[in-house]
Structure 1
Amino acid sequence: MDQQYMPMTSLTSGMGREVTPDLYCYTNQIVNLCFVGLPEKTNEWILVDTGMPESAGRILGVVEERFGENSKPKAIVLTHGHFDHVGAVVDLVKKWRVPVYAHEAELPFLTGKSSYPEPDGSVEGGLVAKISPLFPNEPVDLGNNVEALPADGSIPYMPGWRWIHTPGHTPGHISLFRDEDRSLIAGDAFVTVKQESLYKVITQEKEINGPPRYLTTDWDAAEESVKKLEALKPAVAVTGHGHPMSGEELSKGLQILVNEFDRIAIPDYGRYVNRKH
């Protein structure tokens, strides 16, 4: 993947929000990444996703501010390998020398073996969708630094959390869930902004939507993944794009998305729109 800065931003870029005492959401340009761990436990935290290309310096600044100088995570966990979620992963691994975990089905896209399908600029929804063919779809190559998550659903160094396979957006997409307080890190299984619209990406107008249309290739799997997450009845959710959501706003929004998935999430036309029902 061509690790070049991409001039895309939003009004919340550079902002961090403490969703729970040990779950911190930071917006890097147009995408969210999460720090899981209490600030006082300076080397007992996990980074979930790594933002846009050329963002390692900004992420390191947030780490120093929240966890202190020279702090580093126990590991990096990736919800999936799209460019906006792995942009800094190579640089951060070189600096920190920590393991990276992802779903087994995502490993070809993280070890240089396979490129993702090309983004579909033909879907309706706005300017971001139209320019999506310019987005990189080539894989990063983490070599032996990345390994498959445990098959039992546990996540190394994240006690109390489990990973859930939520494919559709990518084959090995995962979400992370903590049963104790029903906290959800959803990745791009669903998002809380209309990611196809440049105006809404910039303003971060809040609304629950399905996964970004221009990069989702299996809509039947994507629908089943949303149903799976809604059934967990999350109390709070951090998604890959948009604001964190909680309470009734989250539960009602997810119910509507499940009940009206075809209307809300699926493009009327597009290269990957091939529904089985």
Structure 2
Amino acid sequence: MDVIRLHPHLHQIRFPIGHAYLWEAADGLTLIDSGLPGSAPMIADAVRSLGRRPGELRRLILTHFHEDHVGSAADVAAWGDVEVLAHRADAPFIRGDAAGPPPQVLDWERPIFEQSQAALAGFPPPAPVRVDRELDDGDLIDLGGTPAVAVSAPGHTPGSVAIHVPEERVLFTGDTVARLDDGRVILGVFNVDPPLAAETFTRLAALDTEIACFGHGEPVTEDAAARLREAARE
């Protein structure tokens, strides 16, 4: 686990599989995604490494229901007065009221999918977690004095949600967008509706963004909108 400062208020928590992101404000912290089951102690260590306390967490935003994003949400939500937010369409899957739909795995994705499933096989299923606030497109979220906007991002899952922070030009894409080891920005893989995911990618690329944070792959920290638009055209 590594903690990387991306912006005066923003830190990436890098896990072996996927990432979480921590937004700092004077009156509390916001965590975007929670990693695989068992990640809560590492997230707590990341918080302490910044001179903050886990009990300062005020909100946990879940970009979608997959286990590498909600795996430790129940543990993190128990740290104190934590509001859990997720899109309305994925909330039943996160709460454990229903099983989420499987992805349409394209032929070229099959080897990657099998590899990822093998890597996840040793982890228990995520514990259900409450969702205190169900998000819709355009909803405002207060990140401790900085406004953010929920952007519906269906396609990867029915209720994937991106978070845009217009004042700071930061975008959290969840798994709609990914970045390869060679630096290329691509449409994320393992989508329940690949054509809809591609449409969502184009919509996210149109936002005014300097820093783009992905669920998988390293963030783009300069002129991210241009990188996303170029990838969307391709």
Q: What band does the TM-score fall into relative to the shorter chain?
A: 0.7 to 0.9
Corresponding residue number in structure 2 for 1:72: 56
Q: Secondary structure at the match of 1:161?
A: strand
Cα distance, 1:125 vs structure 2: 4.1
Taking the aligned partners of 2:31 and 2:79, their CA distance within structure 1 comes to 14
CA RMSD of aligned residues (A): 2.4
CA shift in 2, pair 1:218/1:45, >3 Å: same
Please, what TM-score do these two structures have when normalized by structure 1?
0.75
Q: Structure 1, unaligned stretches of length 5 or more? A: 1-13, 194-203, 261-277
Deviations 1:15-35 (A, max 9, x none): 222111001111122211111
Taking the aligned partners of 1:228 and 1:120, their CA distance within structure 2 comes to 21
2:65 to 72, 77, 81: 81
Q: Give the residue type in structure 1 aligned to 2:233.
A: N
Q: Given that residues 104 and 172 in structure 1 are in contact (C-alpha distance below 8 angstroms), is that contact kept between their aligned partners in structure 2?
A: yes
Q: Structure 2, unaligned stretches of length 5 or more? A: none
Please, what TM-score do these two structures have when normalized by structure 2?
0.87
Q: Given that residues 71 and 125 in structure 2 are in contact (C-alpha distance below 8 angstroms), is that contact kept between their aligned partners in structure 1?
A: no
CA shift in 2, pair 1:230/1:122, >3 Å: closer
Q: Given that residues 120 and 132 in structure 1 are in contact (C-alpha distance below 8 angstroms), is that contact kept between their aligned partners in structure 2?
A: no
Corresponding residue number in structure 1 for 2:90: 106
Corresponding residue number in structure 1 for 2:205: 230
Corresponding residue number in structure 2 for 1:153: 139
Q: Given that residues 118 and 133 in structure 1 are in contact (C-alpha distance below 8 angstroms), is that contact kept between their aligned partners in structure 2?
A: no
Taking the aligned partners of 1:123 and 1:165, their CA distance within structure 2 comes to 27
Corresponding residue number in structure 2 for 1:61: 45
Q: How does 1:1-277 map to 2 (within 5 A)?
A: 14-38=1-25, 41=26, 43-119=27-103, 123-125=107-109, 127-133=111-117, 135=120, 140-143=127-130, 145-149=131-135, 152-158=138-144, 159-193=146-180, 204-212=181-189, 215-248=190-223, 250-260=224-234
Taking the aligned partners of 1:98 and 1:75, their CA distance within structure 2 comes to 5
Taking the aligned partners of 2:221 and 2:14, their CA distance within structure 1 comes to 17
Q: Secondary structure at the match of 1:129?
A: helix
CA shift in 2, pair 1:70/1:247, >3 Å: closer
CA shift in 2, pair 1:129/1:80, >3 Å: same
Determine what percentage of the aligned residue pairs are the same residue: 25
CA shift in 2, pair 1:26/1:132, >3 Å: closer
Q: Given that residues 29 and 52 in structure 1 are in contact (C-alpha distance below 8 angstroms), is that contact kept between their aligned partners in structure 2?
A: no
Deviations 1:121-174 (A, max 9, x none): 66324743223455579674224x533136651014453211100110011111
Taking the aligned partners of 1:164 and 1:70, their CA distance within structure 2 comes to 27
Taking the aligned partners of 1:73 and 1:124, their CA distance within structure 2 comes to 40
Count of residues paired in the alignment: 230
Q: Given that residues 110 and 146 in structure 1 are in contact (C-alpha distance below 8 angstroms), is that contact kept between their aligned partners in structure 2?
A: no
Taking the aligned partners of 1:129 and 1:23, their CA distance within structure 2 comes to 30
Deviations 1:78-127 (A, max 9, x none): 11110000111111122335220111111111111222233556632474
Cα distance, 1:233 vs structure 2: 3.3
Structure of greater Rg: 1
